[in-house]
């Protein structure tokens, strides 16, 4: 049966839609050397100002020949074309030019024959096979045409993009300045690693998983430590975080308990856009504005932190950083485990993609799914995403899987 408490929660899709409509890039541009741009977001389109390759050139080591000589018993080799050292004359009837891979195709030549398909005796070259017209020629502009938008603004720059920019001779590029994200944990029970635990204490793990996920997103991090469960301290921490950062991310203190001050302070002094999502784990996720910063109050449970961060905070941070949003990769796989699920919230269970004996992919649960069991995140390589209205899943049913792709986790 659907839990009646769920009805005031926003769906994840609606929350993402709200964020898409509300958030615009908050960061300015700067010009950097292309290597420094790796992983940053391009601020302006890169348009090719020249073709790449710049000239028709050979794809093979061999001989540049004229198509209208096809069938001739032999050709006379009249020169050489190396990459970077073109043959400056013209190939006349009955002639050919020795050419290396990358060498510019000399005037008059219309194809290249591979060296392995020829026999040479001094300047005389015999072809055992005639190449087709244009064979083994890489045309000018085959890779990039002048005037093409090669890399659009909003793209996060990859190693391949660095190579593409270098192939155009670009030394510098405009990227968005990295987003500044302040983060802190709330809770009287939290101790730092290396400290001794008192009665009822636990170690603060959320600041570590958050640190990892923020680092992978290439934002500038401002770790503000642990803030105790007290209204004044939470107010002060939020105010100083918002003064220094574009975005503030906290964990804990957003539920309805007596020591849950984060949500209360936001309601009093800030602006709450939403505070409850129909997702599991992660229901009390709070989003809004505090002073001049955007604010995400993540629930305290460690798995809820990671689930809400990947599903909701990550696309928001990308958008604020100027990145064009792209849909998350999801696909369907047969599930090898029975999964418990109550209708009501969209569920992000932790799973592992497995390869069967037949080479066919499937997914299995990593086991117990409590929102305090952080080990389930470490053991997983994907979320099994179950729709809000779904009930239990029986092994053999197909489910939607979202791998922890690339830079996220």
Residues in touch with ligand MOO (CB under 6 A): 280-283, 299, 301, 304, 371
Show contacts with ligand LQZAQKY5 in window 229-268 (CB under 6 A): 251-257, 260
Which residue's Cβ lies closest to ligand MOO? 371
CB of 312 to ligand LQZAQKY5, least distance (A): 14
Count of other CB atoms within 10 angstroms of residue 4:
8
The single residue among 270, 300, 322, 344 that binds ligand LQZAQKY5, judged by CB under 6 A, is 300
Strand partners, 401: 331, 384
CA distance 241 to 271: 16
Q: From 9-17, 43-51, 158-166, 281-289, give the range in contact with ligand LQZAQKY5 by CB under 6 A.
A: 281-289
**Is 371 near ligand LQZAQKY5 (CB under 6 A)?**
yes
Contact, 102 vs 58, CB < 8 A?
yes
Helix ranges (DSSP H) in 124-224: 159-167, 206-216
Provide the strand spans (E) within 1-155: 29-33, 46-47, 57-58, 62-65, 75-81, 95-99, 111-114, 118-121, 124-127, 137-138, 149-151
Q: Which residue is nearest to ligand LQZAQKY5 (CB)?
A: 300
Counting Cα atoms < 13 Å in the Cβ hemisphere of 212 gives 10
Number of residues that bind ligand LQZAQKY5 (CB under 6 A): 26
Distance of alpha carbon 255 from alpha carbon 304, whole angstroms: 12
**Count of residues for the chain?**
409
Q: Minimal distance in Å, beta carbon 241 to ligand MOO?
A: 22
146 burial via Cβ count (<10 Å: 0-12, 13-18, 19+): middle
Contacts (CB under 6 A) with ligand LQZAQKY5, residues 150-189: 185, 187, 189
Q: How far is the CB of 247 from ligand MOO (least distance, A)?
A: 21
User: 314 with 390: CB under 8 angstroms?
Assistant: no
**Site residues (CB under 6 A) for ligand LQZAQKY5, limited to 31-90:** none
Nearer to ligand LQZAQKY5, 176 or 296 (CB): 296
Nearer to ligand MOO, 161 or 347 (CB): 347
Nearer to ligand MOO, 282 or 322 (CB): 282
Please report, for residues 23, 90, 252, 269, 270, the alpha-carbon distance to residue 291 in angstroms, rounded to integers and kept in the order given: 15, 72, 20, 8, 7
Q: Please, which residue, 316 or 373, has the CB nearer to ligand LQZAQKY5?
A: 373
Q: Considering beta carbons, is residue 85 or 378 the nearer one to ligand LQZAQKY5?
A: 378
**Cα 35 from Cα 45, distance rounded (Å):** 17
Name, in order, each residue with C-beta under 8 angstroms of 155's C-beta and a sequence gap of 6 or more: 41, 42, 161, 323, 324
- Minimum CB separation of residue 189 from ligand LQZAQKY5 in Å reads 5
CB of 379 to ligand MOO, least distance (A): 18
| Closest CB 152 distance from ligand LQZAQKY5, rounded Å | 38
Binding at 257: pick from ligand LQZAQKY5, ligand MOO, none (beta carbon under 5-8 Å per type)? ligand LQZAQKY5
Return the number of the residue (306 or 317) whose C-beta is nearest ligand LQZAQKY5: 306
| DSSP structure string for 336-367 | -S-B---TTSEEEEEEEEEE-TTS-EEEEE-S
Give the footprint of ligand LQZAQKY5 on this chain (CB under 6 A): 185, 187, 189-190, 202, 204-206, 251-257, 260, 281, 283-284, 299-302, 304, 371-372
């Amino acid at each position: 049966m659907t839990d009646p408490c769920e009805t005031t929660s926003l769906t994840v899709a609606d929350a993402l839609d709200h964020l898409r409509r509300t958030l615009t890039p908050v960061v300015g541009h700067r010009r950097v050397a292309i290597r420094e741009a790796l992983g940053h977001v391009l601020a302006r389109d890169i348009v090719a100002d020249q073709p790449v390759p710049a000239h028709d050139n050979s794809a093979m080591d061999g001989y540049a020949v004229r198509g209208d000589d096809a069938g001739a018993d032999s050709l006379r080799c009249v020169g050489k074309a190396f990459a970077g050292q073109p043959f400056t004359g013209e190939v006349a009837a009955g002639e050919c030019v020795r050419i290396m891979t990358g060498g510019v195709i000399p005037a008059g030549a219309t194809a290249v024959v591979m060296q392995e398909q020829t026999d040479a005796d001094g300047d005389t070259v015999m072809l055992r096979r005639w190449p087709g017209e244009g064979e083994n020629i890489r045309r000018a502009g085959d890779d990039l045409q002048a005037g093409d938008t090669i890399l659009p603004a909003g793209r996060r720059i990859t190693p391949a993009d660095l190579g593409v920019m270098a192939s155009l001779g670009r030394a510098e590029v405009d990227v968005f300045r990295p987003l500044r994200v302040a983060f802190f944990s709330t809770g009287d029970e939290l101790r730092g690693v290396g400290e001794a635990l008192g009665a009822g204490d636990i170690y603060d793990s959320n600041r570590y998983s958050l640190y990892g996920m923020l680092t992978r997103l290439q934002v500038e991090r401002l770790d503000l430590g642990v803030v105790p469960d007290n209204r004044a301290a939470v107010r002060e921490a939020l105010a100083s975080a918002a003064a220094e950062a574009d975005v503030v991310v906290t964990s804990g203190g957003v539920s309805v308990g007596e020591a849950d001050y984060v949500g209360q302070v936001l309601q009093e002094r800030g602006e709450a856009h939403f505070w409850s999502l129909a997702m599991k784990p992660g229901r009390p996720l709070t989003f809004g504005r505090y002073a001049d910063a955007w604010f995400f109050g993540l629930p305290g449970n460690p798995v809820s932190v990671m689930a809400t961060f990947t599903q909701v905070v990550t696309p928001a941070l990308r958008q604020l950083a100027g990145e064009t949003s792209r849909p998350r990769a999801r696909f369907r796989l047969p599930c090898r485990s029975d999964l418990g699920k109550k209708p009501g919230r969209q569920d992000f269970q932790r799973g592992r993609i497995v390869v069967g004996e037949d080479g066919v992919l499937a997914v299995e649960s990593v086991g117990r799914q409590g929102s305090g069991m952080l080990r389930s995140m470490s053991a997983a390589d994907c979320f099994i995403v179950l729709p809000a209205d779904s009930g239990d899943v029986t092994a053999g049913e197909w489910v939607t899987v979202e791998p922890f792709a690339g830079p996220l986790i």
